[in-house]
Structure 1
Amino acid sequence: MRELIASICSGFTEFTAPESTVDNPIGWPGYEDSRRRAQERTGERESVACGAGKIGDVEATVVSFEFGFLGGSLGSRTGDRLEAAFTRARELGTPVVSLVATGGSRMQEGMAALSQLQRIAAQLALTRKAGLPLVSVLRDPTTGGGWATLGAGADVVLALPGAQVGFAGSRVRPPGDHDAYNAEAQFASGHVDKIVEPAGLPDELARWLKLLTGADGRPPEPPAALGAKTLPETGWDAVRAARAPGRPHADAYLDAYFDWRCDVSGDRCGGVDPGVRCGFGSRGGVTIAYAAQCGTATLPSGFRTAARLVRLADRLRIPVLTLVDTPGAANDAAAERAGAGPSIAELFGAIAGASVPVTTLVIGEGGSGGALAFAAPGRTWVTPDSYFSVTSPEAAAAILKRRDDQVPATANQLRLRPQDLVELSVARGIV
């Protein structure tokens, strides 16, 4: 544990541990001896050490677990230390980095131990309310209440390769798919933002803390157009330009706009949409959050991930850039079962309720409500090779019972060209 702290944090100063009168709350036989042996074996007085130091260029509060001390379990004294550390972080105004390695609540303390999860949850809530970032690193193992509070409750969740991660510990799981209980599976299911090799962890944490504390509050400028510079003559021309195979997509725009960036991943509900990019980027030393569609039909998990990103950015006072590019929301049976409507409503609500400025650029297709959910009212721009429409020309023709050869004429009637959108006050301008 101490080696890990030293590798990521310079000038670490441990907080004074609070005095505790709790010793053996339920009279577990031999508990005092177990604690004494754990202290002799690890050199630690409890399963967690807390202090302050510098990670990269950012002062941070660091919470680190010692798994060798009774399995890194959470007991009453652990709760005392964590509560004091989070309180001190709010006093200092520093982000909190939790290096988690725990088997869960300490059995030898019974419900006195389990109730520490409520204390931890309260401290997380207070720290979020204070607008301070929370970053967790999932080490091996991260299970039980440690995963369900400090681990999964962070804003950004990083994990070491192969780490055991799951609410159920290895000795209490039902037989079956044990591959679900690791960092890679949690990443694939949208519960972890990134798998980080141990050697790269110091730099990764430094990058994240720099991003999460680096906003200046100014509205983002829309990116410059990377594709066609000529406006389309007809609505059908606009549709064809937006669907052109060689047109630049979100990754090209994000790479051109930011000096460097870090993605978040997943909706924290079991889903990842590969057609949506969300995260934080640095532009001229200033942090801007982004949520971008990549040209595919957006899944419910994509809308939920974007909503998660917007809410986090709003809490941390980080302005947001969104890029619109989708033929529409996924509308198959699987999408309906996964909550297409509620997830779109969630993103509409997140953007509508954001107190930070949100800037939108339509870079390709703007297909109906699935595109509009990503757009900022009053701060939307368009590129010359984009369109925005109440529905696709093909869908409009089908609804009106028109023949396929009438689709181009229908596109013209929809007034979906970039210049139409400006005239209709849907867009502020063409970049």
Structure 2
Amino acid sequence: MHDPMPSMRLTARQAMAAVSDAYTEAPPPTDPGGGSPDGPLGWHGYDDSRARARARTGEDESVVTAVATLGGTEVVLVSFEFGYLGGSLGERTGDRLVAAYALARERRLPLVSLIATGGSRMQEGMRALTQLQRVAGESARNRAAGLAQIAVLRDPTTGGGWATLGAGADVILALPGAQVGFAGSRVRPADADPYAYSAEGQLAAGHVDAVVPADEMRATLRRWVKLLGAKRTSGAAAAPAPAPSALGAGDLPATGWDAVVRARAPRRPRAEAYLRAYFDDREEIGGDRCGGVDNGIRCGFGHHDGRTIAFVAQCGTATRPAGFRTAARLVHLADRLGIPLLTLVDTPGAANDAAAERAGAGAAIADAFAALASARVPVTSLLIGEGGSGGALALAAPGRLWATPDSYFSVIAPEPAAAILKRGPQEVHHTADELRIRPQDLLELGVIRGIVPAR
């Protein structure tokens, strides 16, 4: 056992020891030797710089790779040594990273990166920069193989290290206060807001899934690799996630307006109650990776009856473009990893204000529809409250939608429907009946497969 990670300024091996139960270093690729003095550019003093870095750190390159166990789950672990030329990426760094990705594919293991780098190594010029293409290619191969990639952003995580291993990971965790950004501190504009280049700023902008305190990182990583690291039989179809039981009213509404009133009731069980009842434990992703966050949608993975289930849950608010994009991101990840998906539908509709239109509401909703329509893993959907038009339908699995007794689904809410038909407020209740939005109506119309019973 090791102490939890105490700070961001750990050596590569200290960082590995802080998060793992045990690790066995992977042998570095064979160095052909015979390289040009002072590297491919003949950069004066480069060999001396490397020798000093080696003497100072005990490492002969800026990354160390290993096979490690985290909470009993085996992973390939990559850890950067910032003390070695600022954790920069050179050709030999690229060789080690390529070998680590290949080892993960060979052993069918998730890859966890503990990143601390200033970017590409300028003493090797374009030969160093092209290592980013190699890393991106290896990452793509691991994605295609259905293997998870998790990044931990230490201080700093900038340049190509952020733009490949960091931002390209499936799950991105950051240590508090870490400098995170494509531009390092010495090259960004002088008047740039430092918050935008911090772990917290990247979280607020939807580019990081969570900022995790140092003393919690080990436990958090263990949960994530347990959720995503299970070896799955290639080609085997995952069993669908069972629909949750209803947590609210067990009787059916008498009228369409009764269904609306019950679905809108402030004390009706919402997504948090359903997630808590359904999962033994869970971890969440956040942000759409395009600069947006919607706190009205929950996405992540959890354990239910001993297996991992992915989830997307609307929380009863109007879903914003960032929410639909985050949901689509989660669906694509679950599909790639072969993990069945549960969606909880509950929204009055998609956000329709000017800000939502500028943020690409139509395109974001289209992405969510396409993600569910193309998913190869089974998707189970449960309507737990309001089903407001296309904003709700975008997260409802075609042909695999159930409903709770205290829910409704409608092409449009009764009030705007009456207004469009030039009916007065006194006719809203009648319009609700005509729309046939109750769970029993939806079942008769073939919109849902069943009404789930209460617990």
The whole-number CA distance in structure 2 between the counterparts of 1:142 and 1:9 is 21
Contact 2:59 2:84 in 1 (8 A): yes
Q: Is the 8 A contact 1:64 1:98 kept in 2?
A: yes
The answer to whether the Cα contact below 8 Å between 1:194 and 1:265 also exists between their aligned partners in 2 is yes
1:212 aligns with 2:236: no
Shift of 1:213: 2.8
Is contact 2:90–2:121 with CA below 8 Å preserved after alignment?
yes
Aligned to 1:8: 19
2 CA distance for matches of 1:362 and 1:11? Answer: 44
Amino acid aligned to 1:82:
L
User: Does structure 1 residue 106 correspond to structure 2 residue 118?
Assistant: no
1:29 aligns to 2:50 (yes or no): no
Shift of 1:70: 0.2
> Paired residue for 2:77?
62
Contact 1:100 1:151 in 2 (8 A): yes
1:329–1:369 CA contact under 8 A, matched in 2: yes
Question: Paired residue for 2:326?
Answer: 305
Given that residues 155 and 312 in structure 1 are in contact (C-alpha distance below 8 angstroms), is that contact kept between their aligned partners in structure 2?
Answer: yes
Moved over 4 A (4+): none
Offset, 1:9: 1.8
What is the match of residue 291 of structure 1? 312
Which residue does the alignment assign to 2:5? none
Is the Cα–Cα contact under 8 Å of residues 360 and 380 in structure 1 kept in the other structure? yes
Letter in 1 for 2:426: D
Task: State the match for 2:3 in structure 1.
Answer: none
Counterpart of 1:133 in structure 2 is 148
Correspondence 1:361 to 2:382: yes
| Residues 259 and 282 in structure 1, CA contact (< 8 A), matched pair in contact too | yes
1:268 corresponding residue in structure 2 = 289
Give how far 1:41 is off: 0.2
> Aligned to 2:164, what secondary structure does the other structure show?
helix
DSSP-derived class of the 2:409 partner: strand
Q: Which amino acid aligns with 1:7?
A: A
Partner of 2:206: 190
Q: Look up the match of 2:6.
A: none
Residue 215 (structure 1) shift: 8.4
Measured against aligned partners, the alpha-carbon deviations of 1:131-171 in whole angstroms (never above 9, x if no partner) come to 00000000000000000000010000000000000000000
Distance 1:314 1:45, change over 3 A: same
CA distance in 1, matches of 2:259, 2:252: 8
Matched with 2:337 is: 316
Q: Which of the residues 86, 94, 102 maps onto 1:79?
A: 94
Matched residue, 1:171: 186
1:96–1:133 contact (8 Å) kept in structure 2: yes
The answer on 1:397 being equivalent to 2:412 is no
**Root mean square deviation, CA, Å:** 1.0
Contact kept? 1:215, 1:319, Cα under 8 Å:
no
Describe the SS at the equivalent of 1:239.
helix
Q: In terms of mean alpha carbon deviation, does 397-406 or 203-212 score higher?
A: 397-406
Cα distance in structure 1, aligned partners of 2:72 and 2:358: 45
Equivalent residue for 1:388, pick from 401, 409, 430: 409
1:321/1:359 contact within 8 Å kept: yes
Alignment of 1:18 onto 2:29:
yes
What is the CA deviation profile of residues 276-332 of structure 1, one whole-angstrom value per residue up to 9, with x for unaligned ones?
A: 000001112211000010000000000000000000000000000000000000011
Deviations 1:240-295 (A, max 9, x none): 11001110100000000001111100000011101000000111221100001000
Asked whether 1:408 is paired with 2:423, we answer no
Pick from 224, 227, 240: which aligns with 2:261? 240
Structure 2: tracts of 5 or more residues without a match: 1-11, 233-237
Query: Does the CA contact (< 8 Å) of 2:101 and 2:138 recur in 1?
Result: yes
Cα distance in structure 2, aligned partners of 1:169 and 1:144: 7
SS in 1 for 2:284: strand
The alpha carbon displacement at 1:207 in A equals 0.3
TM-score (norm 1): 0.99
What stretches of structure 1 of length at least 5 have no aligned partner? none
Q: Deviations over 1:22-74 (max 9, x none)?
A: 55011111000000000000000000001101111211000000000000000
Higher alpha-carbon deviation: 372-381 or 196-205: 196-205
How many residues were matched structurally?
Answer: 431
Query: By how many angstroms is 1:214 displaced?
Result: 4.2
For the residue of structure 2 that corresponds to 1:6, the secondary structure is helix
Tell me the alpha carbon deviations over residues 210-243 of structure 1, each in whole angstroms, 9 at most, x when there is no partner.
Answer: 1113487210111110111110011011001100
User: Offset of 1:124 from its aligned partner?
Assistant: 0.3
The superposition leaves residues 76-101 of structure 1 with CA deviations (integer Å, 9 ceiling, x where unpaired) of 01000100111111001110000000
Match of 1:181 in 2: 197
Match of residue 38, structure 1, among 35, 48, 53 = 53
After superposing the two structures, state which structure 1 stretch, 190-199 or 92-101, moved more. Answer: 190-199
Corresponding letter in the other structure for 2:111: V
